Amino acid sequence: MANITSKDGTLIAFEQTGKGSPIIIVNGALTDRNGGKSLAAELSEHFTVFIYDRRGRGESTDVQPYAVEREIEDIEALIRYAGGSACLFGGSSGGALSLQAASKLGPSMITKIALYETPYGQQKQDFDKQKKEITELVKTGKPGDAAVYFLSQIGTPPEALEEMKNSPQWETIKKIDFTLVYDYLVLGDGAIPQTKVKNISVPVLVMDGEHAADFIRASADELAHLIPDAKRKILKGQTHQADNEVLVPVLVEFFS
């Protein structure tokens, strides 16, 4: 594990593995860099892979006030460390952050992007309700309350949620569930930021799983239509958490 310093002084913890052209894994909600380790290990046979703790998670610090632009600066710092240009793989809300980073930093720094199930396109009233409730729970609730609410809203069965709460992983989730507020800020108003994505000029692979939620399928189709150099792929048999044995060959082919 190493650290780099982002523009505002936040220390970003990361790990680097493999050899070849650089790829940065940008994780989604309730995940620190450990969530990307198995994927990084398999991709490292072909590329130099960076996994990192987004600010406020794991061993990264969290200089306030938060802004989405600061998270883009974190990615920029990693890219500069990696040699000045890199590809991004963004899962879930990490995909939304990757798109915003590409729009801001341009093709000289971000050369390709792969997205998996970027969660744009919920009904506005549902998205607004979730965003408001999570913000309130982070302010007034106990650590873990916002995570319980979020996981229940995205369809986690009650028995699976109880199993999670009784697992060692739950202590990590409790420590970082305040960053759910950040993920909702990354998603903006919940709709695809059309002006930004239309200006992305690098190759983009837009993926979802065969069993994706309807709104994710629709937004993936729309993203592929809006982004000038986009390819679209549905991963057979996959849910919101894609299996590495299915995902890795697709990423290797796209990034090679």
pLDDT for 176 equals 98
- The residues, any chain, with a CB within 8 Å of residue 202's CB and separated by 6 or more, are 102, 107, 110, 111, 112, 113, 229
- Second CATH level (architecture) for the domain 2-121+191-255: 3-Layer(aba) Sandwich (3.40)
pLDDT grade for 245, boundaries at 50, 70 and 90: very high
pLDDT for 199 equals 96
Mean pLDDT of 222-250: 98
pLDDT tens per residue, range 53-94: 999 999 999 999 999 999 999 999 999 999 999 999 999 999
Q: Residue 184, Cβ neighbours under 10 Å: how many?
A: 21
How many distinct helices (H) and strands (E) make up the chain?
11, 8
Q: Residue 252, Cβ neighbours under 10 Å: how many?
A: 14
pLDDT grade for 203, boundaries at 50, 70 and 90: very high
Measured between alpha carbons, how far is 177 from 165 in angstroms, rounded to an integer? Answer: 13
CATH 3.40.50.1820, the chain: domain bounds: 2-121+191-255
193 prior amide bond cis, ω within 30: no
What do you get for the CA distance between the two ends of the chain, in Å? 26
* pLDDT above 70: percentage of residues in the chain: 100
pLDDT tens per residue, range 3-23: 999 999 999 999 999 999 999
Mean pLDDT of the chain: 97
pLDDT tens per residue, range 167-181: 999 999 999 999 999
Q: How far is CA 157 from CA 130, 185, 220, in A?
A: 18, 26, 25
Burial category of 194 from C-beta neighbours within 10 Å (exposed 0-12, middle 13-18, buried 19 and up): exposed
pLDDT for 32 equals 97
pLDDT tens per residue, range 134-162: 999 999 999 999 999 999 999 999 999 99
Measured between alpha carbons, how far is 12 from 3 in angstroms, rounded to an integer? Answer: 5
pLDDT for 48 equals 98
Measured between alpha carbons, how far is 242 from 44 in angstroms, rounded to an integer? Answer: 18
Mean pLDDT of 39-48: 98
Measured between alpha carbons, how far is 96 from 118 in angstroms, rounded to an integer? Answer: 6
pLDDT for 109 equals 98
Structure tokens at 168: 């060692």
Whose CA is closest to 253, among 118, 116, 114?
Answer: 114
pLDDT grade for 233, boundaries at 50, 70 and 90: very high
